[in-house]
A and B are shown apart, each in its own frame.
Chain A
C-alpha cells in the first residue's frame, strides 16, 4: 500500500462525505431553512404588519433567526461520526485533525449557511427591506454565517459525547455569538440610513479570519476530550 500525503485529498474527502450525506437526507438542508422562514413569519404576526416597523426591526429578526437555525444543524455536525466511530478513525489518521475539522465546518456552512444567504431576497421581501438593506444583509450573512459555524462547532465538539448535549451546546455557544450579532445588525441598520457600513464588515471579516485560524485547533482538542 502506497501512502501519499495530500492535504487536499483529505479536505475534499471529508467535505464530500458530509455533503453527500446531507444530500441523501435533504431534510437536513431544508428543515433549518423552513425553521428560519417560520420564525420570520411569526414576528409580523406577533407585533403587527406595519411596513415601517418591520423594516426597522428586520435586521434583528433576520439575525436572531439565523443564529437559531444554525444551532439546529450544529447538533448533528459531529454526532453521527461520534456514534459510529468515524471520529476515532479521523483522529487516528496521520493527517492533522484541525484540517479535517476545517473541512467538516466548511461542509456544514455549505449545508446550512449558504442556503440562508441565497434565500435572503425572499426574507427581505417579507420584511419590507429596500435594496440597500438587502445587499447589506447578504454581505453580513456571507461573512457572519461561517463565523457562526466555526464558533458553534467548538460547542458541538465539547458536547458531542454527552447524552443531552443539544441545549447545553446553545448555552455555551449563544453568548459567544453576541459580537457577530451586534456588528451584523448594526451594518444592516447603517445601510438603511444610506451610510457607509464597510467598518462593520471589516470587523466581521477580521473575526472570520481569526476564527478560521484558531477555531479548528479548539474544535480538535474539544473532540479529543469527547472521544477519550
Chain B
C-alpha cells in the first residue's frame, strides 16, 4: 500500500533530531509537525520571520499580526523569536536551518528540483522555495512517486523549470525513501506491501537497488 499523507509525514519525522531548527513547506511537510517524537524538542522556522512556530491559535488567541508563511494565523512557542524577512532569509541562506522539508513536481538523478512553475499555467511565484533549496544542506522532498496518470516524478532530468540545481539528496514518496547520489536514485526503503519492481517501474531515472530493501513500519 502506498503511504497516506500522514504516514509520509511520519516517515519524514524520523529524520528529526533533538534541537533541530526546521522549516516545513506547505502541504504534507506541514503535517510533519504533528509527528515530532515524544521527548524531542524541535523549533519550526516560518520564513515570514518566526522561529518557534506554535499551533494554530484558539478563537480567543487569534491575532492578525501573528501568521505563518502560509498566511495562516498561528501562535509562537515559549522561547520563540520574531524578526524581519532579511533576518529570516539570512538563517535560511546562511545554512543555519538544520532541516528543510518541501514538496516538488519533479526531482532528478542530479539532485535538481522543480516545484514552482508549470509552463502554460499561471505562475504565482516561488515564494521562499528557491532560497530554501539553495541555502539548506539537509533537505527532504516529499511527493507522490508518480502523477495520477502514472507518470514518474523521479526523472533522469527535470523537464520543468528548476527551483534549484543539484541540491536534493533525500526524497520520501508515497512508495519509497530514496537518496540521490552519483547520478542515481538509491532505493533505501519501500512502503509496506509495495514491491521493489513497482518502485523501479515508476522511477524514470536510473535507480540503484540493493539486495535487501527494508519495508517501512508504522
Q: Do A and B bind each other?
A: no
- Interfacial residues, chain B to chain A (CB-CB below 8 A): none
